[in-house]
């Protein structure tokens, strides 16, 4: 079984349990003040395994399934097994953690702020996918076809803008910083462990779309 499917199953089970148990939800949710005052650093990870509702859970897990399976396979091919799977897991968990850092520093003394969901992790996986398949066609809002490299730029630009200007209760900081982490993590891995792939990735990018 792939790491992606294991993550989806675990996330689904924990999220469902938290739907029914408010105490569990409160224990796992990202609450910067509790991290800052009580040292509950585990919340940087656990908040990525609970969700607000079934729609929130389904959307994140759909994105993870579609792009995670491909990145996991790519990492195994590039770095071997089991290390490729380990690096993939590190990318996902690292993006969840890194995606929560800005909110931690902004709200560490705000007892009313909390956040949950795997958006940081899924954004990291999505942006890593855009590195390896820059001209693959993605659907913006699942409707408008757009090459991955352009979608990535638009995604980061919108997330950055929305984090400063939007009041829609969506964790845009997690989207932006989780995505940036995933992209930089993948680039760093390739540069350190498979630098022979860098020219191929560059040639693929500048070659443009094949359609």
What tens digit of pLDDT does each residue of 118-147 get? Answer: 999 999 999 999 999 999 887 655 567 888
Neighbours of 199 (CB within 10 A): 9
The Cα 188–Cα 87 span in angstroms is 11
Domain 3-207 -> CATH class: mainly alpha
How far out from the chain centre does Cα 44 lie?
A: 13
For residue 171, pLDDT over 80 is answered with: no
Mean pLDDT of the 22-30 span: 96
pLDDT attached to residue 17: 97
The Cα 7–Cα 180 span in angstroms is 21
Average pLDDT, the chain: 90
pLDDT attached to residue 168: 53
Mean pLDDT of the 84-88 span: 97
- Is residue 157 within 8 A of residue 140, CB to CB? The reply is no
> What is the pLDDT confidence band of residue 164, given thresholds at 50, 70 and 90?
confident
Domain boundaries, the chain: 3-207
Mean pLDDT of the 95-116 span: 93
């Amino acid at each position: 079984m792939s790491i992606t499917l294991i993550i989806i199953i675990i996330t689904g089970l924990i999220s469902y349990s938290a739907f029914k148990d408010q105490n569990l939800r409160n224990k796992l949710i990202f609450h910067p003040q509790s991290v800052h005052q009580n040292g509950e650093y585990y919340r940087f990870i656990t908040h990525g395994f609970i969700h607000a509702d079934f729609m929130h859970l389904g959307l994140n897990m759909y994105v993870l399934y579609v792009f995670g399976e491909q990145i996991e396979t790519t990492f195994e091919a590039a770095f071997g097994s089991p290390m490729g799977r380990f690096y993939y897991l590190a990318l996902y968990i690292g993006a969840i953690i890194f995606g929560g850092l800005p909110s931690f520093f902004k709200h560490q003394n705000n007892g009313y702020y909390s956040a949950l969901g795997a958006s940081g992790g899924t954004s990291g996986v999505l942006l890593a996918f855009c590195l390896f398949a820059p001209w693959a066609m993605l659907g913006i809002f699942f409707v408008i076809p757009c090459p991955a490299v352009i979608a990535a730029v638009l995604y980061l630009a919108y997330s950055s803008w929305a984090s400063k200007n939007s009041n829609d209760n969506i964790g845009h900081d997690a989207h932006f910083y989780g995505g940036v982490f995933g992209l930089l993590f993948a680039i760093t891995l390739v540069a350190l462990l498979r630098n022979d792939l860098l020219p191929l990735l560059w040639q693929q990018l500048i070659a443009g779309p094949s359609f």
